[in-house]
């Protein structure tokens, strides 16, 4: 069976690295939505707490409640997908801090807060151009948060992994203008990549996700983060192939010479995207073995032509899918996507080890 190893020590080291980068005056929250980007929220959130993280971001209410159960009473748990009035009691019972994404949500939360006779905690999300979630700047007014305890005013970068994108300073300027009306409230603008753009963008809290998990927040430069994930798959069978034979479904690859192939126990049902068919490599002892033909649901065919006769693998040996020779970002390139989607697609069929 394929083996997924998640290095919790690297996640901690990444948290420390970001903490050092932003300095003590700035809070480093941990974004652990989507099962901590596929890596397993229970272990990952625990590791982040041990590293000193006290604010966690989830996307959905079930994720938020799960986090509260995992982490106990003390951390702040914020929910990005907003406040739904019909779930108000659940937010309250579990002390979930909703991220308020439009005026409707602000008003509904104010009514709920008022009914509790208290100033309930919230984060307010202002849209500075993403056009996804967030309060429209035109809807802002000085007294709009009366009756609430606003823990942060936040916005979200559109293109922060593009160092020279004019959108970054443009969004920061828009954010600055808007939040200047609320001098007493903490501010937050940065995702992982934003942290590396400019110290001016750090404000009072940053909200890294991908960088904690070892993806590269600076694709224009070497990855400053520690590798978190290794994924190895097992060779089920090795056999020779002859020139002009084909590989896999629909015969999309034709061998140009006699060779040998290994059949590996990982497929698209495990998150090795079918888009990697005939494009990506897996590696054996550091030697690249190209994927031949279409990736199947449970199996992948790799070519052993690059491996010297004396170093040929045998049945039961492991090949690297993600690791020192190929990062999740590298694999994403071959799959025509981004490293995030590689991580969130990792299968529950793997044997998982946390180190």
Structure tokens at 219: 């694709």
Using CB under 8 A, which of 69, 181, 221, 236 touches a second copy? Answer: 236
Position 101 contacts a second copy (CB under 8 A)? yes
Cα separation, 215 vs 228, in Å, equals 8
Classify residue 138 by its DSSP letter. Answer: G
Which residues are annotated as catalytic?
A: 33, 249
For a second copy, the closer of residues 26 and 331 by Cβ is 331
Cα separation, 56 vs 25, in Å, equals 18
Q: Where are the alpha helices (DSSP H) in 296-348?
A: 328-334, 339-344
For the chain, the distance separating the N- and C-terminal CA atoms, rounded to the nearest angstrom, is: 18
Cα–Cα–Cα angle for 96, 101, 106, nearest 5°?
75
User: What x-and-dash track marks residues 115-134 binding a second copy by CB under 8 A?
Assistant: --------------xxxxx-
Cα separation, 169 vs 160, in Å, equals 10
Please give the residues from 176 up to 235 whose contact with a second copy meets the rule CB under 8 A.
none
Helix (H) or strand (E) holding 282: strand 281-284
Residue for token pair 């084909």: 246
Position 59 contacts a second copy (CB under 8 A)? yes
Position 349 contacts a second copy (CB under 8 A)? yes
Task: Read off φ and ψ for residue 131, nearest 5 degrees.
Answer: 60, 30
Using CB under 8 A, which of 8, 122, 247, 282 touches a second copy? Answer: 247
Using CB under 8 A, which of 30, 248, 313, 323 touches a second copy? Answer: 248
Position 315 contacts a second copy (CB under 8 A)? yes
Using CB under 8 A, which of 6, 18, 190, 261 touches a second copy? Answer: 261
Question: Applying CB under 8 A, which residues contact a second copy?
Answer: 1, 33-35, 37-38, 59-63, 80-82, 84, 86, 101-102, 104, 129-133, 136, 158-159, 162, 167, 236-237, 239, 241, 245-251, 261, 263, 265, 267-269, 271, 273-275, 293, 296-299, 301, 315-316, 336-338, 340-341, 344-345, 348-349
């Amino acid at each position: 069976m394929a083996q997924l190893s998640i290095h919790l020590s690297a996640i901690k080291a990444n948290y420390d690295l970001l903490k050092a980068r932003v300095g003590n005056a700035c809070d480093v929250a941990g974004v652990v939505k989507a099962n901590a980007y596929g890596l397993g929220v229970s272990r990952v959130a625990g590791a982040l707490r041990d590293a000193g993280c006290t604010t966690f971001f989830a996307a959905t209410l079930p994720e938020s409640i799960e986090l509260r159960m995992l982490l106990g009473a003390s951390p702040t748990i914020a929910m990005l997908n907003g406040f739904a009035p019909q779930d108000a009691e659940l937010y309250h019972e579990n002390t979930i801090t909703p991220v308020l994404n439009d005026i409707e949500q602000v008003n509904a939360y104010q009514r709920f807060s008022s009914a509790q006779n208290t100033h309930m905690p919230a984060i307010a999300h202002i849209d500075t151009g993403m056009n996804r979630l967030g309060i429209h700047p035109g809807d802002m007014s000085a007294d709009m948060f009366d009756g609430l305890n606003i823990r942060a005013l936040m916005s979200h970068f559109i293109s922060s992994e593009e160092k020279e994108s004019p959108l970054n300073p443009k969004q920061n300027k828009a954010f600055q203008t808007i939040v200047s009306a609320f001098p007493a409230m903490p501010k937050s603008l940065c995702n992982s990549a934003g942290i590396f753009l400019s110290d001016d963008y750090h404000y009072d809290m940053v909200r890294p996700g991908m960088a904690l998990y070892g993806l590269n927040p600076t694709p224009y430069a070497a990855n400053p983060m520690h590798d978190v994930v290794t994924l190895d798959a097992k060779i089920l069978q090795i056999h020779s192939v002859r020139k002009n034979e084909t590989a896999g479904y629909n015969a999309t690859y034709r061998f140009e010479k006699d060779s040998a192939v290994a059949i590996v126990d990982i497929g698209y049902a495990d998150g090795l995207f079918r888009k990697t068919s005939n494009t990506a490599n897996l590696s054996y002892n550091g030697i690249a073995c190209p994927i031949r033909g279409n990736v199947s649901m449970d199996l992948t065919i790799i070519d052993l032509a690059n491996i010297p006769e004396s170093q040929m693998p045998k049945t039961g040996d492991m090949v690297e899918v993600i690791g020192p020779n190929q990062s999740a970002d590298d694999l994403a390139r071959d799959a025509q996507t981004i490293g995030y989607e590689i991580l969130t697609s990792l299968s529950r069929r793997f044997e998982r080890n946390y180190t």
